[in-house]
Amino acid sequence: MTTLGALGGDAAAKAVTDAVAEAVAALRPAAGRDWSTVRAGRVEWDCRRTAQHVVSDLFAYATQLATRAPDAYRPVEYTLDPPDADAPTALEAIEAGGVMLALACRTAPRAARGFHPYPFRGAGREGFAAMGVAEVLLHTHDMAEGLGIAYRPSAELCGYVLARLFPHVRQGDDPWRTLLWATGRGTLPGEAPVTRWHWYNTPLIEAERLTLEALSVPAVADLALGGDGGHHWVPGGPFEGTREGAGMVASAYDKGALRPEWGSYVLLRREDDRALGSMGFHGPPDEEGRVEVGYDLAVAARGQGYATEALRALSAWALDQEGVRVVTARVEAANTPSRRVLERAAFRPVGHLEEPGGVLVLERRAD
């Protein structure tokens, strides 16, 4: 797996700062030109309008995160002043927007989220950082192409964006080329051109006392290597099953076969943002609309109803997705506590597998 960088607010802030610094350095040699007369590559805007867009996004993302905007964009518009600002002024504004977003990422708590419309109605500090970096990288490419100047951001920044916003895309040997292809700006050998695209932010599923937060690609990579995935765990966590599940997700990502909403979710206790365990899917639904779920809870969190609560929420969410008819689970016949968790979450026994010790199969169907 390509190096994905550190987790946390400081790492997110550094990614934003580095992206802006590289972009401004690349564009500054063309600062003496009139950007309003130059089209920004394949974009239908001129370069000044494109710079304005970058400025607006950086400030807007900082505002959404810093104010924890719950369900809409804040009623604030960010523009260049004056509207016909020259290129040096536009670059100064991009630098200022980068500072503000980096500051918001560095100071926001790990659990802080703000509204963003697509696709899961919100993002945290690493999501907003990655979106900001993506806007800077991609639109600097557009402007540089129009202005006829060289620009190639660092592989680390490209990998940062791909890992956090394009987990369904295999990075390959050249993350920059992959990012350009994934956003309709380039080609990849053996791949069809991309004409429609979108990015992913981390999905959340709310339960009574818990938030189930999909583990990002950098988080599963860290967990699989023995780290904490960027979370504060209760004593004894993360448990071995969590690391094994993270390894499965990391492997799917390396193969370009990951669908992030059908990966692994960390169970977070909302009262203190402590991670209790993980729960997730063994892959996306099959052709029959069947998806399998598994879970793991730290010993210190057991016996308090957390697993049942999370399983109810996750399986209900899955059955609400288009084409999903059945959620299944397997449990060793002798594992009575785990079987009871499943049964309390409306799963019913439907058979068994001929494996050592015996394995029961349970399922929950759509009503």
Mean pLDDT of all residues in 159-177: 94
Helices assigned H by DSSP within the chain: 9-27, 47-66, 87-107, 125-147, 155-165, 175-182, 217-224, 240-254, 306-319, 336-344
Res 76 pLDDT > 50: yes
Res 197 pLDDT > 70: yes
Domains and CATH numbers, the chain: 9-182 (1.20.120), 204-365 (3.40.630.30)
DSSP code at position 35: G
Interval 7-34: pLDDT, tens? 899 999 999 999 999 999 999 999 999 9
State percent of the chain over pLDDT 70: 97
361-364's contacts with Cβ under 8 Å and 24+ in sequence apart are: 361/328, 361/329, 361/330, 362/328, 362/329, 362/330, 362/331, 363/326, 363/327, 363/328, 363/329, 364/315, 364/319, 364/326, 364/327
What does the pLDDT read at residue 355?
66
What does the pLDDT read at residue 205?
96
For 203, the token pair is 């999905």
Report the C-alpha gap between 312 and 345 in whole angstroms: 5
Interval 312-324: pLDDT, tens? 999 999 999 999 9
List of residues 6+ apart from 298 with CB closer than 8 A: 233, 234, 235, 236, 237, 238, 239, 276, 277
Q: How confident is the model at residue 352 (pLDDT cuts 50, 70, 90)?
A: confident
Entry pTM: 0.94
Q: 98 phi and psi, to 5 degrees? A: -65, -40
Q: How confident is the model at residue 3 (pLDDT cuts 50, 70, 90)?
A: very low
What does the pLDDT read at residue 2?
40
Interval 324-342: pLDDT, tens? 999 999 999 899 999 999 9
What is the DSSP code string of 280-316?
EESSS--TTSEEEEEEEE-GGGTTSSHHHHHHHHHHH
Mean of all residue pLDDT scores within the chain: 94
- Would residue 156 be called left, alpha or beta, if left means φ above 0 and alpha means ψ between -120 and 50 degrees? alpha
DSSP code at position 190: T
User: Residue holding tokens 């006392």?
Assistant: 209
- Cis omega (within 30 of 0) for bond into 82: yes
Interval 213-245: pLDDT, tens? 999 999 999 999 999 999 999 999 999 999 999
For 91, the token pair is 């670059």
